[in-house]
Every structure is written in structure tokens, then in C-alpha cells.
Structure 1
């Protein structure tokens, strides 16, 4: 049994303009000690899906199932969710400056989080644990920096503080929502390295939400590609980069910059995503797809296995035999994937 099993998750919000169907029939599994990356352009439903799992989308209309370690999270009581969130499921949000309280020191905030879930822990013990965590994530002079405020840390350091806080109680699952956004390349590599090191040490499963395929290549074991609230393709990382099936996935890969090679211009995906207010019952990518045909405009494709591989599924009406799988011509691939190939 997987650590997290999500089945047919749908999330919608009532707005003055209509009902926004942010997530539609999303399913995925996360095994212990593995990393699942959820990718897609802005507005595809990545963050809403994971926030719903942890009970953070108040006022939303939710259906489906999300079982964490055998416990159903959808419809769970606030008390049940509070006991799981933070203690068993850690979360790293996109903007650490807005996630950390500006009026309290980082040490106080980590201690408070520990004692909120383990009230029997002495303050001195929790403070020592906080210093240990800051040291684990690579903050120099960790014991002294406990008394500093968030604004006294750089962006990369604040993100490390968030990772330390999320890992304080050794959660089984870590949800990282765009953890490297707005960080420069060097700091991004350091933050990802910290997450990988902690995963190796504690066996933590990670759900990584990102639009950066370079991060996906470095961190993930499996990938879910989302578009307009739906999962378009699911596959192991190498399969997705080298033999993608869905035209949307292929479009994402073709839009990557080529390194050392053949293309001088990026290949964008033409058009814009559909409105999620009363979306049409057709393939959500039909209006932008270069391979569209009549069937795509009248029915929503299911996620079916590609080349008889249950680990690789695609929501597309194109043939799913092995002959249909081919590399994306001229696509730039992140360096991590290329290095693995040469090895």
C-alpha cells in the first residue's frame, strides 16, 4: 500500500463569475521514500490539489478520496487534520517570508510548532531540537541564529528555515510547493540538496510541486503532468523525458532551451489554457494541440496505459502502442537527465 493514495480528487470554488473547477478527477500514489513531482503551467491545479489533501482549501467543494497511511483525509475532522498536518505531513510553501511570522524569532516559531504537537516536550529540549534542525539544513551558527527574525535571513536561508520547521517532527511525507521559486541557481541547488539529504536520512516521501523541469529531472522518481485541472500524463521520470506520449507533455519539453545544440529559438505552446469556469467536456488541450482530431473535441480522454506499461499512462486519444513513443525533436533536456544517460 502506498503512503498516499489519491483517487478521483475534484475541487471546485464558487465565485461571482461561476464555479471554478480547479481540480478534476485527479489520481496518483506516493510511495514511502520516493519523490513525486507534479508539474504544469500556472493555474493547472497543482497547489490546490495538495492543499486540499491537507485541509487547507476552506470553502471548497471537494469529492474523491485521499488516504494517508490508511487514514482518509477528505472529510476528516479538523482535529484529525491538525494531528496529521505538521506532525506526519510537513509543508514547505512557495514564499517563506509570508509563511514565517515577522514578529517572532525563527527559533520561537520552530519551538512552538514542536510543542503544539508534542506539548510534553520541554522548551529547552525543543529549542535544542530547533538548533539541531537549523544545523542540518546548513545554516551556520545555528544556535545563535535561533534568536534572529525572518527578515534577518536571506531568501535561501528562509527557505531552509521552512524546511527545518517542516522536518522538525520527522514527517513521513513532505509537500514542497514551488520551494525554489525566486531563488538564484546556486541557492536553488543548495535547497534541493538539503531536501535530498534529509530524504536519504529519514526516508521521507516528497510531493514536489514545480513548473521547473530541471528541478524535476534532479529530484523526482515519478511525474504527474497537470493541465487545466486534469492529469494529462503520469510516468517515471526517465520515461517522461525520453519517451513522452501526451502532446502537452511533448510541448512542455519542446519549450525547454536546447543546450549546445541545434535550436536558436524556443518552441512555445500556442494559445492559452481554457477557462475552468464551466469547462467544455472535451480534451482540455484540444484547442492548443497540434495533433487534434474530431474525437478530441467531443470526449474527455481517460488516463490509459501506454505501451502496456501500467506505470506510464496518458490522457490522449493518440495510439498508445510502443511505436507511438518517440523523443521530442530538438527538445532541450535538463542536465541531470543527460548526465544519467551518459553514465
Structure 2
């Protein structure tokens, strides 16, 4: 049964795709909870299953083989019909995609697109009222002269401004859940800070739950309450934000943190090797061929997610001792 305290509860989500080369096991046994007013960050390399998992629970992975459950406010999104999903997307679940140009129609004005979305979910609202709401939203996300710019086309906005427009559209109907897929990609640091500030402000005002998908651990440190680290379609480690940065357990998490630029000017420490094929996954731990602490058991047995130092909020899928002080000699 779903957890009544969690707005979204995902259990044992598995997503695969048939290809001419074989079956791609894109997501393998993902489970997590997101509570109202909280931010869950999902991190990992490209191809780890971050985006596919959230697209699947919102019904956007056509042709996929899906199993598991995803209860959103009492409704299982995995078994919901197309009509139910359409009513939820936009109205209850807002989405910010990685590339705003691919989500905004280039031939329609920004205001028209926001108005259309609002009226699609609220047929009682007039076009004039929806347009006023659109202008208010654009002002809220920091677009200057919003009443004038509402009639501009997407190409007339900078990358950061287009991303703000996407946030405005995602928040137009005060959704309970906001899924933000790389919302600051390709933005300079100043604009990135402004976009994150807008998201925090909206979360504080409406109590919105956020799933933040990102490669940027700096964004994770600033925005998240909890963090899931994914690799090869599976969860390697989950923990509160502070534990991920200061009491992490899994070698993959440690590798991601070690690859960050250091203030001291030292050379980066990359994770050697490449992720395994999701068609022909090796036996044992998927990270074994890149891990500096690998031993024989890692290559034959897949480690389950296990509590670190007895804390159920902090789990790691690794055969190293789960007492952090003994994990690596």
C-alpha cells in the first residue's frame, strides 16, 4: 500500500526497451518517496536512467515495458489510463525539460502557449483571465516587462529566459509535484543562480515537491533534501544531502565527488573506464569494472541496498562494510 505521508511513492520501477540488438534494461528496481515541500535530487552519468524513470511515471515513454508502482496522491501512475495522465500532467505534475527550445513551439507566441496550457486544464477560465495569469507568472519568474514580452516568440528570448518561461508554464496551475530535468544545463552561473532562486521561491510559496535531475553536484548541494545516486539503471546510494557529501559510502558516489574541480587547483580525478552495456549487463555489481575497491565477490554477486551504519535513511548497494569507519582500510 502507498505511504500516505509521501506525495509520490515509487516502488520497484523497472523500464526496458526492445531494440534490434537486444533488450535495454534502462531502469532496474528504482524505489523512492517524495514528500510535499521537499526536493529529491537524482544524480548520475548520462545513461544511468535518471530521465527515463521520471518520464515513465508520467506516461512519456512509449513502447517501453514497465513494471512496478508509482502512487501519486493515491493514484497509481503506471496503471493509469491516458486520460488520467493527461489531466495530471500540467495540472498536478509540472515538468521542466532539459532543452526549452524543444518544448516551446517556435511558431507560437510565448503567451499563447501558456494560455493554451492553462485553458486545457481549466475550461472555466476565460482567455483574458488566462492571459493575465500568464503575465503574472512571467513576472514571478523574473522576466522584465512581462506584459509586453508575453507576445514575443521563443527565439526572442535568451536561453536563461526560455528556461524561466518553462518554469512559469510548469507552475501555471500550482502543481503539487515539479519534475525538473537538468533545469540549469548550458546556463551561465549567474542565470543558473536566478533560476534556482525562482524554483526555491515557488516551492516555499506553494509547498511544491520537486524531483531534480542533474549532473551538477553544486546544484544538488544547494537545492536538495535527499539524493539518489544512479548508475547503469539502478540505485547505488540514497541518503540525506549532507550524508552524500560528508558521510558517503559507495565508491561510485566517492568517484563523482572526487571528479569535481577543487579550489586548490589540483588535477581532476576522473572515474576510469566506461559504464556497462544495459543490454549485456555483467554479473555482480555493475560498477565493479571501474571500482578501485573491487574484490572477488563484487564480480559474481549483485549487492542489495543495505542500511549504512543502521540508518534506514542512508542506504548503499555495495559489499564494503556498512560501518563507514571500516568500509575501506
TM-score, length basis structure 1: 0.93
Counterpart residue number, 1:285 = 287
Asked if 1:138 is matched to 2:132, the reply is no
Pick from 300, 303, 322 the counterpart of residue 302 of structure 2: 300
Contact 1:6-1:27 at 8 Å conserved across structures: yes
CA distance in 1, matches of 2:56, 2:199: 23
What are the Cα deviations for residues 254-302 of structure 1, in whole angstroms up to 9, with x where unaligned? 111111x3x6211110100000003123111000001111111111111
Contact 1:21-1:278 at 8 Å conserved across structures: no
CA distance in 2, matches of 1:265, 1:310: 36
Q: CA deviation at 1:188?
A: 0.7
Pick from 220, 223, 227 the counterpart of residue 223 of structure 1: 227
CA distance in 2, matches of 1:317, 1:64: 26
Runs of 4+ that moved beyond 4 A: none
Pick from 176, 196, 203 the counterpart of residue 199 of structure 1: 203
Q: CA deviation at 1:70?
A: 1.1
Q: CA deviation at 1:322?
A: 4.3
Counterpart residue number, 2:73 = 69
Q: CA deviation at 1:125?
A: 0.5
Asked if 1:253 is matched to 2:257, the reply is yes
Contact 1:6-1:28 at 8 Å conserved across structures: yes
CA RMSD of aligned residues (A): 1.0
Contact 1:46-1:209 at 8 Å conserved across structures: yes
CA distance in 1, matches of 2:168, 2:322: 43
Counterpart residue number, 1:341 = none
Asked if 1:167 is matched to 2:153, the reply is no
The 10-residue stretch of structure 1 (293-302 or 32-41) with the greater mean CA deviation from structure 2? 293-302
Contact 1:244-1:325 at 8 Å conserved across structures: no
Matched residue pairs, number?
324
CA distance in 2, matches of 1:325, 1:39: 23
What are the Cα deviations for residues 208-258 of structure 1, in whole angstroms up to 9, with x where unaligned? 000110000010000000000000000000110001000000001111111
Q: CA deviation at 1:133?
A: 0.3
> Residues 215 and 325 from structure 1, CA distance in 2 versus in 1: closer, same or farther, beyond 3 angstroms?
farther
Q: CA deviation at 1:6?
A: 0.6
CA distance in 1, matches of 2:62, 2:257: 35
CA distance in 2, matches of 1:184, 1:127: 30
For structure 1, the residue ranges without an aligned partner over 5 or more in a row are 327-343
The 10-residue stretch of structure 1 (100-109 or 317-326) with the greater mean CA deviation from structure 2? 317-326
For structure 2, the residue ranges without an aligned partner over 5 or more in a row are none
Counterpart residue number, 1:332 = none
> Residues 325 and 105 from structure 1, CA distance in 2 versus in 1: closer, same or farther, beyond 3 angstroms?
farther
Instruction: Give the match's secondary structure for 2:289.
Output: coil
Counterpart residue number, 2:125 = 121
> Residues 296 and 246 from structure 1, CA distance in 2 versus in 1: closer, same or farther, beyond 3 angstroms?
same
